Homo-oligomer: A and B are copies of this chain.
Amino acid sequence: MCPIRDIVARISDKWSVLAIYGLGGYGKLRFNELKHKIGDISQRMLTVTLRNLEADGLITRTIYPQVPPRVEYELTELGHSLMQQLQLFAEWATKNGPEIIYYREKANKVIKDRIA
């Protein structure tokens, strides 16, 4: 319905963000290189995520007809634009994250106290 809600849904996906960050920070990457940068992503989810990002015009997928296969992923201009937005948000999170964590732990403590 709402277009913004639609975009946010795709963007807010954990794996999408990590993939974009990976490509944004290192430029062109092969499948397993990116997988290694992200670390704890399954092969399946990386494939799905990359296909979605490609369908949205955020990354390009270049296949080199070799054996063994070589596929490289890279942010498009649109992808870089999004990356910059994410970067802005990351700065906010870095600055305000500790305060949120502080409140969150304080709330947890209350719960623990109730149990005890």
Contact = CB atoms under 8 A, between A and B. Distances in A.
Given A7-B100, A11-B12, A85-B88, 19 more contacts: A3-B97, A3-B98, A4-B90, A4-B93, A4-B97, A5-B14, A5-B18, A7-B93, A12-B17, A54-B107, A55-B103, A55-B104, A55-B107, A56-B100, A56-B104, A78-B99, A78-B103, A82-B96, A85-B89
B17 A8 contact: yes
B56 A78 contact: no
A47 interface: no
A81 interface: yes
A101 B93 CA distance: 28
Number of this chain's copies in the complex: 2
28 contacts: A3-B93, A3-B98, A3-B101, A4-B93, A4-B94, A4-B97, A5-B18, A7-B96, A8-B12, A8-B14, A9-B14, A12-B12, A12-B13, A12-B14, A12-B17, A54-B107, A55-B103, A55-B107, A55-B108, A56-B103, A56-B104, A58-B100, A78-B99, A78-B103, A81-B96, A82-B92, A85-B88, A85-B89
